[in-house]
């Protein structure tokens, strides 16, 4: 079945550091890929998405590129802020007409001043 | 504000007790979902619904039942709670078709359930 693998956390960075959170996937078809973010005490929110190979999703300074050849969708940000501290989930949805999401286990990011 | 509302936010149950978690959305979304979130396991789909009056099993349905009598509501029931059901439960909704890819899921803020 479909699956998503994320790097284990927590990822601890100082403010203004470069961020990479790795995500790889296994899917039988041509999935769409997503990053969701969960701030403390809240539900998940869509951060960015990419629906086909080589697409780059971006939002709030975060970027991720859909790499079909390496089945990856790594999340990056050039300069993190304390307010970026949250749990980040990579997810996929198979192109079957019904958008059932499969989530990774989540990676906690802690940014210190 | 438009969105997904879950009630209650916190609950402690004794083993064997029953309860119902309520999810309500006001965005006219067709699809609704119940997930549970456990440490180290991410989010796992319990049940979902593709429209009023329909439900389907997800990845971890055992011990749970659901109903979607009205389009805007999706109820999750625990008939006989067990400690293994201690978790944070999230409800989500999404529109159909390509809008789901554009806007993603809308999640509620979660229900933290402890079964002792």
pLDDT in tens, B28-69: 999 999 999 998 888 999 999 999 999 999 999 999 999 999
**What is the pLDDT averaged over residues B76-81?**
96
Flag if A99 and B108 touch (Cβ within 8 Å): no
- Report how many Cβ contacts below 8 Å link chain A to chain B: 52
Q: Is B14 a residue whose pLDDT tops 70?
A: yes
Structural element, H or E, at residue B22: strand B19-25
H/E stretch holding B46 reads strand B42-49
- Residue A29's pLDDT is 80
Pick from B24, B29, B13, B18: nearest CA to B95? B29
Contact between A98 and B31 using a beta-carbon 8 Å cutoff? yes
Which residues on chain A are in Cβ contact (under 8 Å) with B94? 99
Beta strands in A44-85 (DSSP E): 44-50, 56-59, 62-65, 75-77
- When pLDDT is averaged across residues A51-55 and rounded to a whole number, the result is 91
Q: How far is A3 from chain B (nearest CA, A)?
A: 11
What is the pLDDT of chain B when averaged over all its residues? 92
Put simply, the answer to whether B45 touches A100 (Cβ < 8 Å) is yes
Q: Is A36 helix (H, G, I), strand (E, B) or coil?
A: strand
Length of chain B: 116
- Please say if the pLDDT value at position A98 is more than 70: no
Q: What is the mean pLDDT of residues B16-38?
A: 95
Q: Residue B97: which residues within 8 A CB-CB, separation 6 or more?
A: none
CB-based contact A49 B108, cutoff 8 Å:
no
Residues of chain A with Cβ-Cβ distance to B92 below 8 Å are 43-44
């Amino acid at each position: 079945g479909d699956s998503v693998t994320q790097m284990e956390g927590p990822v601890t960075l100082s403010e203004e550091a470069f961020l990479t959170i790795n995500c790889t996937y296994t899917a039988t078809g041509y999935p769409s890929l997503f990053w969701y973010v969960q701030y403390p005490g809240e539900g998940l929110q869509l951060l960015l998405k990419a629906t086909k190979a080589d697409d780059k999703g971006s939002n709030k300074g975060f970027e991720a590129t859909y790499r079909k050849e390496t089945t990856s969708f790594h999340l990056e940000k050039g300069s993190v802020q304390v307010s970026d501290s949250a749990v980040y989930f990579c997810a996929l949805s198979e192109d079957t007409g019904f958008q059932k999401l499969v989530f990774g286990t989540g990676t906690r990011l802690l940014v210190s001043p | 504000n438009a969105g997904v509302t879950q009630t209650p936010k916190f609950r402690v149950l004794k083993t064997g007790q029953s309860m119902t978690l309520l999810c309500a959305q006001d965005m006219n979304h067709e699809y609704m979902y119940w997930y549970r979130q456990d440490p180290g396991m991410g989010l796992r789909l319990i049940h979902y619904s593709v429209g009023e009056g329909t439900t389907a099993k997800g990845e971890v349905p055992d011990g749970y039942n659901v109903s979607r009598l009205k389009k805007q509501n999706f109820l999750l029931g625990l008939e006989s709670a067990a400690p293994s059901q201690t978790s944070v439960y999230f409800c989500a909704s999404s529109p159909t078709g390509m809008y789901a890819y554009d806007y993603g899921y809308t999640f509620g803020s979660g229900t933290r359930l402890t079964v002792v």
